[in-house]
Amino acid sequence: MNGTEGEKRKLHPLPLEEIKKGLADAPLFLGIDIDSLEGHLARIQGVTLHDGDLLLAPEQKNDKVYIVLAGGLRVHLDDLTLPPLLVMRRGECAGELSIIDHDNPSAYVVAEGECRLLVIDQEVLWSLVDNSHALARNLLYTLSQRMRFGHSVIINGFEAQRQWQHYATIDALTDLHNRRWLNMAFDRQLERCSTSGQPLGVIMLDIDHFKHYNDNYGHPAGDCALSAVARTIRKHLRPNDIAVRYGGEEFVILLPDTDLDGAVSIAERLRAAVAATVITDRERNPLPPVHISLGVAEACPGNHESSDQLLARADEALYRAKERGRNQVAKGRSRSSIGAQ
């Protein structure tokens, strides 16, 4: 419904006592002797809206303040199909901001149920402000509350965005970075390797016989094992090292400024630490330990190797570690030796 046309159809006079009672219940008129406004009350009218009727919209001009007598007004920032930011009830007002700043409304305001409103034209409002310091104060207070609410919406929006970004890049079970984050970060690490002239070590590992672990002890126990392995990995890495849950029981670790021998040393430390890790279920009951197999590769400055190529070499080394009996570390072949085949 077009708000302006709806107002013209539905504006009607109200009994003086109903106007007085409506103003007395409105925070905008707090502390004001309503009887002292006698000369202006006859110019205040009423309007009735039905559920879903549009009162205010950003694409429409507004020159009135509306005070809720009965029912409610839903405020939507943009999408009318989403839940409202707030619902205004008896005594609360809408439309005052667009009068103060001479701009269109900043949100959609829609009737909730059958809604009855007082309607105060902007000329009447400014006349009332000229004659009442209390009304001017209340209007300023209302404006400040609107600004505070707007700030809270912005802050909550940033916080929601921050949380979304967190959960979009962090694995919920292990609290490690996830594969999506790795896809974004790996190329940056390779570029850093190229510009700094320092190597980048990569470890790919997974938990040995993890399917049997899940089958024998249940998926909740498997989740506990995954969490325990992730904690152990995080505990035994350096501050600049990056651990990622690559998928299922598989993990990838990026080791900046680390050559192949250094990466192998770190991998051996992780293998031993995981083997010694005590795993418990959520009730602190002991669960069987797990072991890991690890494949190690190195990106050297100037090789111009892609992240997929480097991961493939680490994965090949991991496969060889499993073939040799698992619970061990295998080195990946150099890129030059692969190219020579």
**Do residues 227 and 174 make contact, with C-beta atoms less than 8 angstroms apart?**
yes
Residue written as token pair 């060889």: 320
**Do residues 32 and 134 make contact, with C-beta atoms less than 8 angstroms apart?**
yes
**Active-site residue flag, 112:** no
**Do residues 173 and 180 make contact, with C-beta atoms less than 8 angstroms apart?**
no
Backbone phi, psi, residue 69, to 5°: -95, -40
The single-letter DSSP state of residue 334 is P
Q: At what angle do helices 307-323 and 179-196 cross, to 10 degrees?
A: 110
Q: Token pair for residue 82?
A: 């989403």
Please state, in angstroms and rounded to a whole number, the distance separating the CA atoms of residues 178 and 293.
20
C-beta atoms surrounding 76 within 10 Å: 17
Backbone phi, psi, residue 191, to 5°: -65, -40
Please state, in angstroms and rounded to a whole number, the distance separating the CA atoms of residues 92 and 182.
50
The partner residues of 253 in beta bridges, in order of sequence, read 203, 243
The single-letter DSSP state of residue 323 is H
Q: Token pair for residue 246?
A: 């690559």
Residues 6 or more apart from 330 whose CB is under 8 A from it?
293, 294, 295, 296, 317, 318, 320, 321, 324
Residue of 92, 249, 298, 305 marked catalytic: 249
**How do beta strands 108-121 and 200-207 pair?**
unpaired
Residue from 168, 157, 162 nearest 77 by CA: 157
Please identify every residue annotated as catalytic.
249
